[in-house]
Amino acid sequence: MRAAGGRGAILALAALAALAAVGAASGGLGDVSLAMARLGGGASGLSGNGTSAWRAPAWTALWERPSGTPKPKEQRLAELREENAWKNNLVLWILPQSARDAMPMPLQTWFRCWIMCMALYFGVGAVWAYYAYFAFGDKLFKQGEIPVWPDIWEQMKVSFYAMPMYAMLPTLTEYCVEQGWTMSYSRVEDIGLKWYIIYFVLYMTSVEFFVYWQHRILHMGVGYSWLHVIHHKYNKGDQMSPFAGLAFHPLDGIMQALPYSWTLFYVPMHFLTHELLLFFTSIWTTNIHDNLHAKIAPVMGAGYHTIHHTLYNYNYGHYFTFVDRLFGTLITPEENEARRAANRREAAERQKAA
């Protein structure tokens, strides 16, 4: 019955793949309607902030890196700034235009990121918890395994207080991108779909490797005693919930997200895809804290992460098990269950001998 939790992990990974596809299809404008038009092979459209009409090339035309003179740097940066302004307008429509105009661009970006972080955390967490605990709780959990409300409330409070600082990382990253300090680009057709895919794989490889090490460092010395211990107070399966996913000390959460940002400085990356991936982590962390194990290796699902919370020094990985396997810190749920069974047998034998 626990395997039913695999649907959540599979859906989360499918969403990850879809983010990459939408990022590529959108060409950097971020408008889903434009993305869908491009998936159809080519259509005309407008960006949300009044950009002039354009013709989307077919996928075949996008595949190869275009020949000819590359865009001037200033043009590329202007496109990135235009895209960022469009995203701010898309999210901050609730504010009067005069209020938006009075806010500096970094403040608009921070406000946008904070709103999106709050919406994803509470929205996805609420839906996940409803289906896991109420709709299917009697099928997925044994009696006493569903976390109690005081633990969930504590996780919500810790996350809520950390979110203003969480929003500072994408704000600072966006500023660096607009200044031209990174290798980010805004239009897939500038490099071709083939290179978009290659750079995406390189980017995610770097993220996976360094998130592992950031997480592992946070289990050492003051990294643990000052920061990460706040998250590891949830050290039993029945204390973990979808709302534990962002319940960190703010610096802890930022440290684990930093590889998403610093990789932009040495791997060319489509910037909208980067931002979608960064915010997707809030969905992924919801999934891996629901205490529902599914056999979907090499994906580092909830079964692996529950072991991390109970044994502490294993399963540091982000999405996959590869880096843990490389550095000898991987324990599968099946191996862990075998160890526990062996320990129970030894304890029973000692008790019998006594």
235 neighbors 309 (Cβ within 8 angstroms): yes
**Is 332 within a domain?**
no
- Angstrom distance (rounded) from CA 186 to CA 58: 18
Q: Which of 125, 134, 120, 136 lies closest to 6, judged by CA?
A: 136
265 neighbors 183 (Cβ within 8 angstroms): yes
The per-residue pLDDT for range 278-311, each reduced to its tens digit, is: 989 989 999 999 888 887 889 999 999 999 999 9
186 neighbors 271 (Cβ within 8 angstroms): yes
User: 169 lies in which domain range?
Assistant: 2-66+73-296
Count structural domains, the chain: 1
Phi and psi torsions of 222, nearest 5° = -70, -25
**Is 218 within a domain?**
yes
* pLDDT at position 216 over 50: yes
- Residue showing tokens 């996350």: 159
Specify the DSSP element, H or E, that contains 54.
Answer: strand 54-55
The per-residue pLDDT for range 146-190, each reduced to its tens digit, is: 999 999 999 999 999 999 999 999 999 999 999 999 999 999 998
What is the DSSP secondary-structure string of 334-345? HHHHHHHHHHHH
**Is 132 within a domain?**
yes
Rounded alpha-carbon distances, angstroms, from residue 315 to 89, 215, 229: 40, 10, 16
Counting every residue written for the chain, the total comes to: 354
Q: Where are the beta strands (DSSP E) in 161-266?
A: 184-185
Q: What is the pLDDT of residue 48?
A: 41
Residue type, 306: T
Strand 269-270 with 184-185, pairing:
parallel
The per-residue pLDDT for range 98-135, each reduced to its tens digit, is: 999 899 999 999 999 999 999 999 999 999 999 999 88
CB atoms within 10 A of CB 60: 9
Q: DSSP state, 323? A: H
**Is 23 within a domain?**
yes
Q: DSSP state, 51? A: P
**Is 346 within a domain?**
no
Above pLDDT 70, what percent of the chain?
Answer: 80
Q: What is the pLDDT of residue 19?
A: 55
| Cis omega (within 30 of 0) for bond into 298 | yes
Above pLDDT 90, what percent of the chain?
Answer: 62
**Is 141 within a domain?**
yes
User: Does the CA dihedral 15-269-199-325 come out positive or negative?
Assistant: negative
Q: Which of 311, 284, 290 lies closest to 302, judged by CA?
A: 290
**Is 25 within a domain?**
yes
Structure tokens at 342: 């062996």
- Angstrom distance (rounded) from CA 305 to CA 308: 5
241 neighbors 129 (Cβ within 8 angstroms): yes
CB atoms within 10 A of CB 81: 15
**Is 133 within a domain?**
yes
Residue type, 334: E
